[in-house]
Amino acid sequence: MEKAIKKIAVIGPECTGKSTLCKELAAHFQTVWVPEFARSYLLQRDHKYGFDDLKIIAEGQVKAEDEIIDSFVSSLEENTDRIIHPVFIDTDMYVMKVWSEYVFNACDNSILASIATRSYDLYLLCYPDLPWVPDPLREHPDEKERMKIYHYYKDAIINQPAPWIEVKGDYALRMDTSIDAVKKMMC
């Protein structure tokens, strides 16, 4: 019996709980998650980046996603009782597109091509209603600015073919909403 992987991308403005949600969902569903490549890349570069770095970050994100998923698929035992396995992805190419357009008013064609060729089974769009937590890599603490960026994400997600849900509220509510959506998708 062939095992199916369902890719769930978690997107939204910074400081909306994407990484925490991915990590907790992966633990709940006993699966893997793909961390955001940008974080490790920017830490190595002392938080500095330019337009060309976003292409490198996008390539690193895609490579990490493919490697983690391939490794996970290879590790699945034939006798596992679950046929469908969700994999949670912290950041996809829509994040790269929004980031590029918001900061640089342009997006590298390779990022746009990646959006056209990669597919996901569900998007969890995180709403910016969690309190701002300072972090050296975060750039937009202003609530109005975070809402503006959120609308860039919502516009992108509405105009793509995969199902999506908006994730709001405290961490427990976000988790409950996400678990319900993933369970429905897996049926």
**Rounded mean pLDDT of 102-125?**
97
> DSSP string spanning 41-83?
HHHHTTT---HHHHHHHHHHHHHHHHHHHHHHHHH--TT-S-S
Query: pLDDT for 12-57, tens place per residue?
Result: 999 999 999 999 999 999 999 999 999 999 999 888 899 999 999 9
Q: Residues, the chain, total?
A: 187
pTM recorded for the entire structure: 0.94
The pairing of strands 84-90 and 33-34 is parallel
Edge-to-edge order in the sheet of strand 122-126: 33-34, 84-90, 4-11, 122-126, 164-167
Query: With contact defined as beta carbons under 8 Å apart, do 121 and 55 qualify?
Result: no
**Rounded mean pLDDT of 119-143?**
92
Q: Residue 109: left if φ>0, alpha if ψ -120 to 50, beta else—which one?
A: alpha
Q: What is the pLDDT, as a whole number, of residue 81? A: 64
Per domain, the residue ranges of the chain are 4-186
Q: What is the pLDDT, as a whole number, of residue 143? A: 92
CATH placement of domain 4-186: 3.40.50.300
